[in-house]
A = this chain, B = another copy of it.
């Protein structure tokens, strides 16, 4: 179907269809890329260090956060809901990787800090993490 044989409104429709297809393709590439990286991260981090990809992101955030990090800051950094973050911190605490400390100035909030074990776990997992990224990205 050639454009110069089509009425104007059909030309416009055809042009926007092309643009639309581009968007769809871009989305599928994004999705495929994300899935590949994430599932590989998930597997490798789990089997070598016993933590998930989101757990790692939280540890990394805490390790690079100048030591005082509120739970809400984590919610912003990793792409999870507030409730998921709350449970994530609870899991990390149960495994002894972080500690929850009351925040004295605003007693609704809590500070989350890495334990020594948490910092070690992070440094070990970091190698695996970077390894996976360099394998699966690009």
Contact = CB atoms under 8 A, between A and B. Distances in A.
Interface string A29-51: 01111110110000000000000
Contacts of A134: 20, 23
A133 interface: yes
Copies of the chain in the assembly: 2
A24 interface: yes
Contact of A31 (B27, B31, B79): B79
B32 A133 contact: no
Contact of A23 (B26, B32, B130): B130
A42 to B, nearest CB: 12
B31 A137 contact: no
A60 to B, nearest CB: 8
